[in-house]
Chains A and B, each alone.
Chain A
Amino acid sequence: MPDLRSRLRLCHPTGVALGAAGLLAALVWLGGVAMPVPVATGGDSTVQLRMIVVLAGAILVAVPMRSPMADWEAGAGPRARRVELTLLAVLASAGAVLVGVGEALVRSPESAASLLRAQLIWLSLAVVSARLLGGWSRAWVLPLATIFPLTYLGWDAAGEVRWWNWLWQPHTAAGCWALAAVSLTGAVLALWATPWRTRRLRGRPRRGRGAPRAVPARPGNRTKEPAAR
């Protein structure tokens, strides 16, 4: 616990708390406001502000996750790793509780369910993005990029909402829950696939072949691999 507290103190705690409070206020008071957006074809050409708020909240998790000492932590032991995962779990559940309870109280449990689904997808995408693109500071890339297909391409020519449009599909839509499950799996995989694990995976076949390592590079010796003979 003291580990977690000192970790939390590192990363903009006031800013994150203020941001979260602002987002919660926007969700509660302005969540139902419809924002007009251009759409490719038919359907509802608006997005509700609460969807954008939930997206912002999902990415906001990445702000405290990004440690200013990330470079050192890359070489840290299991204790730092445990703190990182605990912090993520705490932040994710705090976000889910805020969104779920706020939305269910102000609007309806159904709406809360679909918002929680959206939050799950975006948070998972943020984790995947962080792992794929190299660090928590890049966690915003994939979730933000989903705005374009979701708003612009989310409806077909007949004005029906597409199966993957998790903003507008009802909370019972199986397709979107499948998407949520897939992205959650992706996130778990991304968290599991730490550099030391992927290195071990990549290293195994090489060791199996028993090929000796190449001559270690020395300054002035710029040939990377010995030429195949």
Chain B
Amino acid sequence: MTGRILLAELRHSPLRWAWPVLVAIDLFALFGRSDHWIGVWSQTSAAAQVPAFYLGPAMAALAAWTAARRRRENAGGWMDAAARPAPVMECVHLGITLAYGVTAYGVGVIAAVAVTLPGGGTHFFWPGYVLLGLVVIVLCTGVGHAVGRAGTSLVAAPLGTALVLFVLFSFFGFVPQGAEWGLGLMVVSGYPDVVTAAGPMLARSALALAVVLVAVAVGRRLRSTPGRPGWPGVPATALAACGFLAVSVVGFATAGPVLQQRGVPDEPLCTSHEPRVCLWPESRKYLEEAELMSRRVAALPADLFTSPAAFHETGLRGETTMGSGFHIREGEMWEVATSLAIRVQEMSTPPYCDAVTFDEDEKRWAADMELISWLTARIAGGGKPPTVHGGPPGVDEKTVHAIVAEPEEVQAAWAGERLATIRETRCA
């Protein structure tokens, strides 16, 4: 019987009109941006979660709208007439709303997994970020339902919840970086060196569940109170739900950061050639390019440059300091080449010291930057892609990159000059 009520609500919910729009927003948000995440499981999971930033507030508005059904014109309360307990009907109502939101989100997740499956390798699906997005959607739906039930205006409730949540998420929703403060409910990228922590994820899920329970409890009371004679009794369920909400808020606040350093892998993915460039197994689609880079590093003039034995992607050796490895930011291999170039440069020149005069310091700085620019172009195997903006400060990159096309001896002589400038700088 309840099953048939569920089906009826599924057919009657105004969300059936919104569902295609939600799916469209999800897919646009997923595929409208750059496609660097395709083939990298950690990034795929994060990319599938990004649409939750929009779906969450949208679901809050829609839940507020459908929850206020009794107040709406031409939308009779057929559910009020059902011969079922009020909490069951409330669960049916909110459950169907959730089902529409979660399936719209699910379509995006399935699409993201489907495009990554062919190239992603064996490190199958990272559920962490997807769960985070799910938490956001459930949380927003619960808030919207409660506001829609409690509110008195059909316009202000959806408008207010959606915009307040949108502004809130925009300021505080994302996982904080550095000193700023954030709720840690969303990420914009998923590097393979960080994973979601189990405890904080559990706290977030509990919070979402608590909000849904409060929405059901509040909604049930608002449904049943009018028209009932006398004191309706102690709202035990509502009090219990609010208590659970309070506990879960405390849990959420004390659970700590949602992202944590990932454990060191047993076998990182390394190039066969010396110097080895090592990647996380998730980044396997960059291995071919890394192989080429490693060969190009090996082909640098051996009498001028010494290369480290291996380069590592950030986090591969369990380090936490910045700059101890390279990041593959948005799949941009040029930046990897820059990191490699800086490492080679560091190995090939004496450690930094304060120069005797300001002039020498300036000269050394210029030579340093030019060399890094040249090394980057050498290691990347050509000119700078148009998607990369900025570069080493004070360098005429066009001229430096033109040198890469010159014969090897000319390049060696050019680099030798710069190296000499650096090495001959007298220390104070």
Contact = CB atoms under 8 A, between A and B. Distances in A.
- Asked if A pairs with B, the answer is yes
Nearest to A12: B153
B166 A52 contact: yes
B220 to A, nearest CB: 24
Interface residues of B, number: 31
Contact of B174 (A12, A36, A62): A36
A153 interface: yes
Interface in A32-70: 35-41, 47, 49, 52, 55-56, 59-60, 62-63, 66, 70
A225 interface: no
Contacts of B171: 35-36
A152 B167 contact: no
B156 A63 contact: yes
A19 interface: yes
A147 B29 CA distance: 12
B33 A145 contact: no
A15 B153 contact: yes
Contacts of A148: 25, 28-29, 54
Interface stretch (A81-89, A102-110, A112-120, A135-143): A135-143
Contacts of A56: 159-160, 163
B270 interface: no
A152 B162 contact: no
A136 B155 CA distance: 8
Nearest to B61: A144
Contacts, number: 82
Given A47-B170, A52-B163, A145-B21, A140 B155 contact: yes
A66 B53 contact: no
A59 B163 CA distance: 11
Contacts of A37: 53, 170
Among B34, B72, B154, the most chain A Cβ lie within 10 Å of the Cβ of B154
Nearest to B31: A40
A23 B187 CA distance: 29
Contacts of A136: 155
B29 A140 contact: no
B269 interface: no
A140 B153 contact: no
Given A37-B170, A47-B170, A52-B163, A15 B155 contact: no
Contacts of B174: 36
A147 B53 CA distance: 12
Given A137-B72, A148-B54, A152-B54, A63 B155 contact: yes
B156 A35 contact: no
Contact of A153 (B28, B74, B166): B28
B156 A152 contact: no
A40 B33 contact: yes
For the residues of B in contact with A, the DSSP-based class is: helix
Given A144-B162, A148-B28, A148-B54, A59 B155 contact: yes
A87 to B, nearest CB: 14
Contacts of A153: 28, 32
Contacts of B54: 147-148, 152
Nearest to B157: A140
Contacts of B188: 38
B25 A140 contact: no
A143 B21 CA distance: 14
Contacts of A59: 155, 159
A189 B159 CA distance: 25
B50 interface: yes
B167 A52 contact: yes
Nearest to B154: A137
Interface in A1-45: 12, 15, 19, 35-41
B155 A62 contact: yes
A19 B159 CA distance: 12
Contacts of B58: 144
Given A15-B152, A144-B162, 18 more contacts: A36-B171, A38-B29, A40-B29, A40-B33, A40-B34, A49-B167, A52-B163, A52-B166, A60-B159, A63-B155, A71-B74, A136-B155, A137-B73, A137-B155, A140-B155, A144-B158, A148-B29, A153-B28
13 contacts: A12-B153, A15-B153, A35-B170, A41-B33, A47-B170, A56-B163, A60-B155, A66-B153, A137-B73, A140-B158, A145-B21, A148-B25, A152-B28
Q: Which 10 A-B pairs have the closest CB atoms?
A: A137-B154, A40-B33, A35-B170, A40-B32, A62-B155, A63-B155, A140-B159, A59-B159, A148-B54, A56-B163
Interface of B: 21, 25, 28-29, 32-34, 50, 53-54, 58, 61, 72-74, 152-156, 158-160, 162-163, 166-167, 170-171, 174, 188
Interface of A: 12, 15, 19, 35-41, 47, 49, 52, 55-56, 59-60, 62-63, 66, 70-71, 135-137, 139-140, 144-145, 147-148, 152-153
